[in-house]
Structure 1
Amino acid sequence: PIPDSRFPIPDSRFPIPDSRFPIPDSRFPIPDYIY
């Protein structure tokens, strides 16, 4: 089901840990993202 068509739904191609920041690609680790 689609929550709302007002905004696009991110594909499952990459997981989104937090919407506070965009994620280029999870295929490789990113030094900037320190958890």
Structure 2
Amino acid sequence: MKLPKISDAAWFFIVIIAWSVLATIFTIENEMVRGMFG
């Protein structure tokens, strides 16, 4: 299976969005845990 060719700019964009989503989820999880136990 061959991946479609994605330009560097597109990859950069995808990585930034993915990181933003992960960071947001991580922050929300931390806040929830802190709210429950702290």
Structure with the larger RCO, 1 or 2 (CA within 8 Å, 6+ apart): 1
Larger-Rg structure:
2
